[in-house]
Structure 1
Amino acid sequence: MNTNVLAICWLLSATAFAQNIRGRVTDESTKSPLPGATIVVVGQQLGTTTNGEGDFSLKLTPGPYTLRISSIGFESLDQAVTVEASGTTTVNLALKPTQTSLSEVMVVGSRNLNRSVTDSPAPIDIIDVRQVTSKMGQLDVNQLLQFVAPSFNSNRQTGSDGADHVDPASLRGLGPDQTLVLINGKRQHQSSLVTLFGTRGRGNTGTDLNTIPAAAIERIEILRDGAAAQYGSDAIAGVINIVLKTSTNQLTANVNYGAYQAKYRFDNQKFDGGNLNVNANYGWRIGKTGFLNVTGDYNQRDHTNRANTPGIDSTLQRRQYGDSKITNSSFYANAQIPLTTNTNIYAFGGINARKGDAYAWTRAADSDRNIPSIYPDGFDPIITSKILDGTFAAGVRTNFRGWNVDFGNIFGSNRFDYGVKNTLNASMGPSSPREFNAGGFQLQQNVTGLHFTRFYKNTLQGLNIAFGSEFRYEDYKIFAGEEASYRAYDITKAAGSQGFPGFQPSNELNKSRTNLGLYVDGEIDITKAFMVGAAARYENYSDFGSTLNGKLSSRLTISPAFMLRGTLSTGFRAPSLAQTYFNSTITNFVGGQAVQVQIAQSGSAITQALGVPPLKQETSLNASLGFTSQLGSGFSLTVDAYYVRIKDRIVLTGQFSDDLPAISDALKALNVSRVQFFTNAISTRTRGIDIVLAHHTQLGNGRLNTSLGMNFNSLDTTSVNTNAKLKPYKDLYFDLREYYFVKASAPPSKMNLTIDYSINKWAFLLRFVRFGEVKLANWSYKSDELDIYKPKVTTDLSVSYRFTPQVGLSIGGSNILNVYPDMHRADLTESGGAWDPVQMGINGAYWFGKLNFRF
């Protein structure tokens, strides 16, 4: 009884002392109210949303609080407030707009910490990952960027060995290894995989963006400009900087599931490729300015199968053709610990473990590579992968006598282990195992950097000076598979595991190199309207020597609504260790004698016998010219034209056989029947233009954001660089198919129209993506029989609703009209299916649902 009385008295007392806090949330740029904005009291299960006039109210007991205000299409804001003991506390808040698709900011591309979007000399896109992933179906970083950024391209491949497990990606139609990837501004390591097959990234290494979970990312910044003079090797096409989350005192969690609508499937199964993703993110505050933010992410993706398409002879097709099955688990962390008011220790990184199953080409029942007693109906080998990827960075930032100093180290490792199952070694007969360990490779990288930056605000209108150095160590290994994965036990039969023959002991190696880079750059605002910048970078590699590159940039503000900008730079890309040292061997028997089919490493006895020089760096000349404009209330337009000339691009040649007269004796003397190799074979020229038009306005009681992004791109091969001995075989050195693979690294045009409307607790998104025509040469090797993939448009639609400030749901679809590329003859395409991996992909419509939680 007494307990009940005390409880009632406590409730009455709490109600009596509770005070109103009222406020209004507005759009900072237009000053208009924001209906449907979410206000959460950090650390408590309290919250509300704004009404149609942008107003809100809460009842809180007196004391200090932190309010977190968020609205789709705007940057979140944390606001400290104190509720007084009497009267009503009023607070007015303004949110900065973002874009669901693209918006311009100045983060990468300049070391001037005072540089803003309005005076950027180079085009930069920012993708707010939380805004995009909360509405659309794409879960991994590559697919997210594929449908958001017009200059970015990535397609999943099938029947392409390692490329089925690591999606190659590119900017502005250049190679995957010509884009530099940073995490929190630090150089990220590449994948250990060099792509040998498929129509994307052929002969290239690249960075595996999917090792970093989207749930750990705050935003992705894309610098669409050559920047090797600023950041070093690989930045010919541009730079992608991934910024990890720094939020604290908020738990966010997501449960996502989706599947593809299987329009083409021989067994009439209606859906496949189920994709489950579960993730959670939380941050703790450390001191006044420190934090620890952690993310756990699990993703399970099943196979799709688009084999046996109608109208195509089933005997000419693979029986399994579609996306690989992937299980991806990640843990990432980002931290900063304040030591003094001027000094912070930082650390970030994570680990990613991936297992994959990918379809290899079908072996028919009557094939000499089959053992009928094991597989009476033939078999479909499965190439498996175990990929372990890790990154760890740590350092200290301080201010020393006016200089901002950053001393840090980042270490990265990528290991790729191959396996093959549902297969056999035909030379072992009926006793053959059905599963093999096929070996693999590993790449490790360590970068230590010391950077200085200082801004002189009283020199003209501002002068920024930056200089520093980086020392990089890289190590590359190849390790052999088990003996049965490569050996021939019966010389009259095919050797090794079918689907993927294992690496042999003769392929094993452990190679390393070092690199020292020194740079200096400066930017000066001569007037408030006119800025010029210059950068220079010297690098010395232990394996091929030195390179010096420079960059000039400028910005001229004509009026508050119009600005011109441009850059001119030289660049380079060092050959990767994988391109330099990768080698593999397949043993065939001719007339009872073992002969080798090889991918020979640079500088080997074979390449020396053929007169092939060692690999050297690719070099480039980049130029861009553009403008930004405010066309009126809520309208913005950016247009940037670019030119990229690259000399000595590295490609993988076709196979040279020992029956070619000019080289027959050299190959036979080395007991090699066929050979191919990496070489600086071609020079290319790329011309293009990027256009981004954005508009935001108040529409009724809601907010409408619209953006149109377009990329037009043209790549031409200007020369093929052969040596004297191989000059008669120029068309084999870089053949018709390879020419079209390089040319089709990106569609010649890509357009993205996004319409995003939010009102109260609802949000609606409609997106159209148009992919331009792609042409590929097929196995017929005839220029008049190209596979032409005509322009296609995909349509994405989603509807989102917030039940409470803490719980929201999104449902929708990507490519909801179930559009596919044009079909072609499966026996002639590179991939062995009715489509190559072009444009929007081969899987059709994808339907999804997402539950998200914020506490």
Structure 2
Amino acid sequence: MHVRISRSVLLGFASAATLLACPLAAQAQSAPQDDTTQIEEVVVTGTRTVGRTRLDSVAPVDVISGEVLTRQGAGTELAAALAATAPAINFPRPAISDGSDHVRPATLRGLAPDQTLVLINGQRGHVGALVNVNGALGRGSTAFDLNTIPAITLGNVEVLRDGASAQYGADAIAGVINLRLRQASSGGGLTAVYGTYDTEYDTARGKHERRDGEQTSLSGWIGLPLFGDGFLTLSGEIQEREPTNRSDYAAPGSVSNGSSTTVIGRYGDPKTTSQSAWFNAGKPLANGWEGYAFGGYQHRDSESAATARAFNNANNVVSIYPNGFLPMIGAAIDDYNLFGGLKGEAGGIDWDFSVGWGRNELEYKTFNSLNASYGAASQTSFDSGGLGYDQLTVSVDGVKQIDANLYEPLNLAFGVEYRRETFEVSAGEPTSYNKGPLNAGAGAQGFPGFQPSNVVDEDRSNVSAYIDLEGKFSENITIGAAARYEDYSDFGDTLTGKLSARWDTSEHFAVRGAISTGFKAPALQQQFFSYVATNLVTTVVGGVPVTSLVNAGSFRVNDPVAIALGSRPLEPERSTNFSGGFILRNGGFELTVDAYRIDIEDRIIYSETLGLTRPSQSAATTNATLALLAPFGVTGARFFLNGVDTTTNGVDIVTRYRTEQDFGQFTFTGAANFNATEIVGLPEIPSTVAVPTSPGYLFDRANQLSFSDGTPKRKFVGSVDWSLGDFSATARATYYGDVLVANNTSTLDYQVGDATLIDLEGRYTFPFGVTAAVGVNNLTDEYPNFTPATINGGTGSVGFPSFSPYGFNGRFLFGRLSYSF
């Protein structure tokens, strides 16, 4: 059942929020008016007019300081810290999902991870090489890896919660996250963190106690003068994270000694070590010009587990693993960023000339495994190939103030950009995918390597131009308009636009709204990724078992196998965004309420594996599909395609109140996100493909429901920060609404369950500049509902749902030492 949020409900909710705010606003009139209550962060995201503050902007923008981000537990995951502070962002914890374990995607407003554009210092960041092709949230997407940038590197993060393709280009359907690097010419700091999980939990087969997932990190930054009047800010982090394990007990029949209390799987966070280094520099030049450069590098080694293989698994070789084995997937990730440019005034225009380059590489290794088709002669460790993606951008931007006889000069921004992208797949060693001499499963168990047929090296380019106008037509009315044209070398051109307005009825109250169109270009990864595994399948023909090798997996959209099933060249997703809301502020109190509707057409999805038996498909459908695949020696195929249309309705509410009393300074914050997505159109197979199908043929029930019910429809965050002298503390409660874990068979569905997590942290600053902090996340040790034993199978590998919006690790204890100079 879909939850609908009608326009009347949105307006009613906004009105109720205003009435509830009135008593608080009345109290705020007596609040102090000094710097402790003035909240005037200047923003650069969502506007190109200099000097706009967060509360003066035409579109809703959250500003999260770097200091707040480093106070989220061990502080080793930027995406987790953002999800803890911004209710519209969710960051689930997939496990046993191959590459998605190592590069976890975040979502904004319940949309796909790649429908949010990420900027670094206002410049387009590059997405990762990985495309998420497993059953985790964000299946089929390829997105920016937020965890490649440590929180210590950031001055603040601006989250624009509004469609912005006309302003910033492709992918900004849900909004924009702008990572603004720390900028300083003096000072510095060091931070050391230690944390661990200490938890008790129930799974389908019994109780568990765990103390695992130790996390340590050492990070620091320093500001230096650059040739006198410039600045150079250096920052870096070294971190280690041990794995967590929330697998269930294996069934006795899957354990060599018949034990009912043995865990043979590993389900949780991967083991991770990483090293990151970043810089941000600027230097004034002659005639008011300035040169700037920034960039960084991260190397990350990550190890996760595949599904456990019991001792009696058909693909186990008992002479190698007498008790079964747990295949491990290693990922070596290298991420590069380098930007530079010049900015200054010429001819009455403020110019910005910039060049940016970024690259992401992921190399797979499969170990503690075997290729069963080689029997006892099999190796146990394999190089499984890798992925690579890079992006080059060259842009010219200009801003000019035009006197148009308005209340203030009209701000005209314009620019052009050239972008080139490359995507590569490299093959693994032959034994990682080959079929050996024995009739057993081929390829490395857990993650067979990429084959030579999967290897690609593709690129594309695009040129874009935009114009952005914003101005105050009177003292109280601000209007903005933007348009952007983009021309891609692989699928053609597109035009997007945006209109926005704001009316300040008084110094305390304003209303704002916008309408825009947007698009997301099909990623190179979605067009050219393929991954085919060779499996040993036994069928009965005329009463006689026949064993044969078959190929099944992902095929490129231009592959003859995909074309035979109706594949066509991918087209961009297109969206129409509507938003409207209000701002209420008085002294130290503020409240913003913004309602939105996002209609998206032709969303790019990852199809079902066509040819396999599914409850929604008749035997005639399966047989007709297999007949189409038979000439290619394939028994199952999936590919990327357009075709799902969705409507997302929601409301964002953010409130804050600051006050200073005799017993300390307090900052109260509250935020909520109400969000519901409904599928209004499903893809259809072309009439030229002679296969009788049902509506779920290309995109079945489980994947449909992951769009509409895979993220919480309600999320609330409430916190209070207190400080008095050298003491300070933070308390936060986060409520997550229920999420459905769907299956193609409805009887196998189950709910994650709603939960409220409580986080506490206390701090003390010593006279010599060291601040010590201790805290706990998830104080009451909350867990989602465990995976039912009927779904989990004999190995018990999957203890909890990966769709849980807050993960499944339990209580986390941490301590932190920081020194500022």
When the two structures are superposed, what TM-score results if normalisation uses the length of structure 1? 0.86
Residues 123 and 105 (structure 1), Cα distance of their counterparts in 2 relative to 1, 3 Å cut: farther
Kindly state the Cα deviation for residue 592 of structure 1 after the two structures are TM-superposed. 5.4
Kindly state the Cα deviation for residue 285 of structure 1 after the two structures are TM-superposed. 1.7
SS at match of 2:732: strand
Q: What is aligned with 2:816?
A: 850
Residues 433 and 442 of structure 2 are in contact (CA less than 8 Å); yes or no, is this contact kept in structure 1?
Answer: yes
Residues 758 and 569 (structure 1), Cα distance of their counterparts in 2 relative to 1, 3 Å cut: same
Residues 427 and 495 of structure 1 are in contact (CA less than 8 Å); yes or no, is this contact kept in structure 2?
Answer: yes
Could you tell which deviates more after superposition, 735-744 or 344-353?
735-744
Kindly state the Cα deviation for residue 113 of structure 1 after the two structures are TM-superposed. 1.5
Amino acid at match of 2:59: A
Kindly state the Cα deviation for residue 121 of structure 1 after the two structures are TM-superposed. 1.0
Kindly state the Cα deviation for residue 115 of structure 1 after the two structures are TM-superposed. 2.5
Q: 1:758 is matched with which residue: 686, 704, 723?
A: 723
Q: What is aligned with 2:524?
A: 577
Residues 137 and 814 of structure 1 are in contact (CA less than 8 Å); yes or no, is this contact kept in structure 2?
Answer: no
- Measured against aligned partners, the alpha-carbon deviations of 1:383-433 in whole angstroms (never above 9, x if no partner) come to 000001100001100111221100001100000000011100001111111
Residues 427 and 454 of structure 2 are in contact (CA less than 8 Å); yes or no, is this contact kept in structure 1?
Answer: yes
Q: 1:626 is matched with which residue: 581, 584, 595?
A: 581
Q: 2:782 is matched with which residue: 815, 819, 839?
A: 819
Q: 5+ residue gaps in structure 2?
A: 1-28, 538-545, 613-620
Q: Is 2:156 the counterpart of 1:194?
A: no
SS at match of 1:832: coil
Q: 1:472 is matched with which residue: 413, 419, 434?
A: 419
Residues 134 and 810 of structure 1 are in contact (CA less than 8 Å); yes or no, is this contact kept in structure 2?
Answer: no
Kindly state the Cα deviation for residue 325 of structure 1 after the two structures are TM-superposed. 0.6
Q: What is aligned with 2:601?
A: 647
Residues 318 and 832 of structure 1 are in contact (CA less than 8 Å); yes or no, is this contact kept in structure 2?
Answer: no
Q: Take 2:820 and 2:597, find their aligned partners in 1: how far apart are those partners? A: 45
Residues 31 and 659 of structure 2 are in contact (CA less than 8 Å); yes or no, is this contact kept in structure 1?
Answer: no
Q: What is aligned with 1:771?
A: 736
Q: Take 1:490 and 1:314, find their aligned partners in 2: how far apart are those partners? A: 27
Q: 2:714 is matched with which residue: 740, 746, 749?
A: 749
Kindly state the Cα deviation for residue 740 of structure 1 after the two structures are TM-superposed. 1.9
- Measured against aligned partners, the alpha-carbon deviations of 1:362-384 in whole angstroms (never above 9, x if no partner) come to 11111111000100110001100
Aligned counterparts, 1:707-746, within 5 A? 707-723=669-685, 724=687, 725=689, 728-746=693-711
Residues 135 and 800 of structure 1 are in contact (CA less than 8 Å); yes or no, is this contact kept in structure 2?
Answer: no
Residues 307 and 321 of structure 1 are in contact (CA less than 8 Å); yes or no, is this contact kept in structure 2?
Answer: yes
Kindly state the Cα deviation for residue 784 of structure 1 after the two structures are TM-superposed. 4.8
Q: What is aligned with 2:22?
A: none
Q: What is aligned with 1:600?
A: 555
Q: Take 2:677 and 2:645, find their aligned partners in 1: how far apart are those partners? A: 11
Q: 5+ residue gaps in structure 1?
A: 1-28, 35-93
- Measured against aligned partners, the alpha-carbon deviations of 1:150-191 in whole angstroms (never above 9, x if no partner) come to 000111211000000011001000000000000000000000
Could you tell which deviates more after superposition, 654-663 or 304-313?
304-313
Q: What is aligned with 2:335?
A: 389
Q: Take 1:132 and 1:436, find their aligned partners in 2: how far apart are those partners? A: 38
Q: Is 2:247 the counterpart of 1:307?
A: yes
Residues 692 and 708 of structure 1 are in contact (CA less than 8 Å); yes or no, is this contact kept in structure 2?
Answer: yes
Residues 829 and 836 of structure 1 are in contact (CA less than 8 Å); yes or no, is this contact kept in structure 2?
Answer: no
Q: Is 2:637 the counterpart of 1:691?
A: no
Residues 140 and 640 of structure 2 are in contact (CA less than 8 Å); yes or no, is this contact kept in structure 1?
Answer: yes
Q: 2:637 is matched with which residue: 646, 671, 675?
A: 675
Aligned counterparts, 1:480-629, within 5 A? 480-490=427-437, 492-590=439-537, 591=546, 593-629=548-584
Residues 768 and 118 (structure 1), Cα distance of their counterparts in 2 relative to 1, 3 Å cut: closer
Q: Take 1:460 and 1:522, find their aligned partners in 2: how far apart are those partners? A: 13
Residues 806 and 515 (structure 1), Cα distance of their counterparts in 2 relative to 1, 3 Å cut: same
Residues 706 and 282 (structure 1), Cα distance of their counterparts in 2 relative to 1, 3 Å cut: same
Kindly state the Cα deviation for residue 840 of structure 1 after the two structures are TM-superposed. 1.4
Residues 42 and 51 of structure 2 are in contact (CA less than 8 Å); yes or no, is this contact kept in structure 1?
Answer: no
Q: What is aligned with 2:542?
A: none
Amino acid at match of 2:238: Y
Residues 805 and 646 (structure 1), Cα distance of their counterparts in 2 relative to 1, 3 Å cut: farther
Kindly state the Cα deviation for residue 776 of structure 1 after the two structures are TM-superposed. 1.7
Q: Take 1:397 and 1:30, find their aligned partners in 2: how far apart are those partners? A: 44
Amino acid at match of 1:712: F
Q: Take 2:55 and 2:110, find their aligned partners in 1: how far apart are those partners? A: 27
- Measured against aligned partners, the alpha-carbon deviations of 1:414-472 in whole angstroms (never above 9, x if no partner) come to 00000011100001111111110000110010011000111236741220001111100
Residues 487 and 325 (structure 1), Cα distance of their counterparts in 2 relative to 1, 3 Å cut: same
**Greater RCO structure (CA 8 Å; 6+ sep):** 2
Q: What is aligned with 1:801?
A: 764
Kindly state the Cα deviation for residue 835 of structure 1 after the two structures are TM-superposed. 2.9
Residues 411 and 745 (structure 1), Cα distance of their counterparts in 2 relative to 1, 3 Å cut: farther
Kindly state the Cα deviation for residue 320 of structure 1 after the two structures are TM-superposed. 1.4
Kindly state the Cα deviation for residue 318 of structure 1 after the two structures are TM-superposed. 5.9
Q: What is aligned with 1:445?
A: 391
Q: What is aligned with 1:261?
A: 198
SS at match of 2:450: coil
Residues 828 and 105 (structure 1), Cα distance of their counterparts in 2 relative to 1, 3 Å cut: farther
Could you tell which deviates more after superposition, 132-141 or 476-485?
132-141
Q: What is aligned with 2:377?
A: 431
Residues 177 and 234 of structure 1 are in contact (CA less than 8 Å); yes or no, is this contact kept in structure 2?
Answer: yes
Kindly state the Cα deviation for residue 131 of structure 1 after the two structures are TM-superposed. 3.2
Aligned counterparts, 1:133-172, within 5 A? 133-134=70-71, 136-172=73-109
Q: Take 1:104 and 1:203, find their aligned partners in 2: how far apart are those partners? A: 37
Q: Take 2:249 and 2:582, find their aligned partners in 1: how far apart are those partners? A: 47
Q: Is 2:620 the counterpart of 1:656?
A: no
Q: Take 2:213 and 2:281, find their aligned partners in 1: how far apart are those partners? A: 36
Amino acid at match of 2:451: Q
Q: What is aligned with 2:222?
A: 282
Residues 436 and 442 of structure 2 are in contact (CA less than 8 Å); yes or no, is this contact kept in structure 1?
Answer: yes
Q: What is aligned with 1:833?
A: 799
Q: How many residues align?
A: 762
Could you tell which deviates more after superposition, 584-593 or 690-699?
584-593
SS at match of 1:663: helix
Q: Take 2:127 and 2:276, find their aligned partners in 1: how far apart are those partners? A: 17
Kindly state the Cα deviation for residue 341 of structure 1 after the two structures are TM-superposed. 4.8
Q: What is aligned with 2:8?
A: none
Q: Take 1:786 and 1:270, find their aligned partners in 2: how far apart are those partners? A: 28
Kindly state the Cα deviation for residue 553 of structure 1 after the two structures are TM-superposed. 0.3
Q: What is aligned with 1:60?
A: none
Residues 656 and 668 of structure 2 are in contact (CA less than 8 Å); yes or no, is this contact kept in structure 1?
Answer: yes
Amino acid at match of 1:848: F
Kindly state the Cα deviation for residue 199 of structure 1 after the two structures are TM-superposed. 2.4
Kindly state the Cα deviation for residue 264 of structure 1 after the two structures are TM-superposed. 3.6
Amino acid at match of 2:550: V
Residues 155 and 840 of structure 1 are in contact (CA less than 8 Å); yes or no, is this contact kept in structure 2?
Answer: yes
Residues 105 and 126 of structure 1 are in contact (CA less than 8 Å); yes or no, is this contact kept in structure 2?
Answer: no
- Measured against aligned partners, the alpha-carbon deviations of 1:632-665 in whole angstroms (never above 9, x if no partner) come to 4421110000000000111111111187243333
SS at match of 2:86: coil
Residues 202 and 741 of structure 1 are in contact (CA less than 8 Å); yes or no, is this contact kept in structure 2?
Answer: no
SS at match of 2:376: helix
Residues 800 and 808 of structure 2 are in contact (CA less than 8 Å); yes or no, is this contact kept in structure 1?
Answer: no
Amino acid at match of 2:233: N
Amino acid at match of 1:758: S
Q: Take 1:307 and 1:220, find their aligned partners in 2: how far apart are those partners? A: 35
Amino acid at match of 1:526: F
Residues 137 and 846 of structure 1 are in contact (CA less than 8 Å); yes or no, is this contact kept in structure 2?
Answer: no
Q: Take 2:286 and 2:366, find their aligned partners in 1: how far apart are those partners? A: 55
Q: What is aligned with 2:18?
A: none
Amino acid at match of 1:814: N
Q: 2:317 is matched with which residue: 363, 371, 381?
A: 371
SS at match of 1:686: strand
Q: Take 2:442 and 2:469, find their aligned partners in 1: how far apart are those partners? A: 59
